[in-house]
A = this chain, B = another copy of it.
Amino acid sequence: MATQIVIDDPDDDRVDDFRDLKRADRRPDRPGGKGLVIAEGTIVVRRLLASPYPVRALLGVGRRIEELRDDLADVACPAYVASADVMATVVGFHLNRGVLAVADRVPRLSVTELAASARTIAVLEGVGDHENIGALFRNAAALDVDGVVLGAGCSDPLYRRSVRVSMGHVLRVPFATAEEWPKALTTLRDNGFRVAALTPRWNAVSLHEVQPTEGERIAVLLGAEGDGLTDAAIEAADVAVRIPMADGVDSLNVATAGAIAFYELAHRVS
């Protein structure tokens, strides 16, 4: 059971992991950033507790820590209990959700490791927007995508805002960062994946006409809206696929396009 420790003094150094989050978390993966994984709110904290990320501590108002009692039964880390005001002073802003948890990162998977156990993979190129990354993970989790490969130009899925927008699903869906791009697509093909690149190009195949065959492994390749996928990425794919769109509409949000493709191409759950 996590030990509950009351924090009255916002300067208490035991809660330093939670301090001044807006600044400390700006680039968590860069020098000066702490590199911690931060979960906000009971739902996301629960997903962090159930994830492979080693939880260092929780900080919450009494009522929220109480709600998490069952989830904390087998957890050894401290659970700091503070008033909403003390929390706000530590964190640097008022926190509606009333509870936070921090965890360390874990070594990332390679693309080959990720491919070994997955049937459906989402592959992202140039998705720099933290909310889009978060939404993509949420949609991947809901629609039976087993893993995500981050290609060139993607932002960190463990950034605080991405964790929140994903509803904590970045902590559940395994991901790998491509070391070489777009060579990672060849790695996926070598591992038996059909790589389907989503693009608005008129000569791409309509998504309605692409059906995974029984047991087929599919990688759905998605680029940022606006620029879209690079030519090199599309050429490294097996097939270019488009979502049929009405005249006069340029594009869908990348996470929404991803959701439609996952719905159509992921191994179907009934």
Question: Which residues of A line the B interface, CB within 8 A?
Answer: 135, 138-139, 141-144, 167, 169, 172, 206-208, 243-246, 248-253, 255-256, 259-260, 263-264, 268-270
Contacts and interface: CB of A to CB of B under 8 A. Distances in A.
A206 B270 contact: yes
Contacts of A248: 141, 172
Contacts of A264: 263
B143 A246 contact: yes
7 contacts: A141-B249, A142-B246, A142-B251, A143-B245, A244-B269, A256-B256, A263-B264
Contact of A253 (B138, B143, B172): B138
A87 B103 CA distance: 45
Which 10 pairs across A and B sit closest by C-beta, in order of nearness? A142-B249, A244-B269, A144-B246, A256-B259, A260-B263, A142-B245, A141-B249, A142-B252, A256-B256, A244-B270
A251 B142 CA distance: 7
A142 B245 CA distance: 5
A49 to B, nearest CB: 14
A150 to B, nearest CB: 21
Contacts of A260: 259-260, 263
Given A260-B260, A263-B263, 11 more contacts: A135-B256, A141-B246, A144-B244, A144-B245, A144-B246, A207-B263, A244-B268, A256-B256, A259-B259, A259-B260, A260-B263
A169 B208 contact: no
Contacts of A172: 248
A46 to B, nearest CB: 11
Which residue of A138, A245, A246 has the most chain B CB atoms within 10 A of its CB atom?
A: A246
Contact of A139 (B167, B207, B256): B256
Given A260-B260, A260-B263, A263-B263, A135 B245 contact: no
A249 B208 contact: no
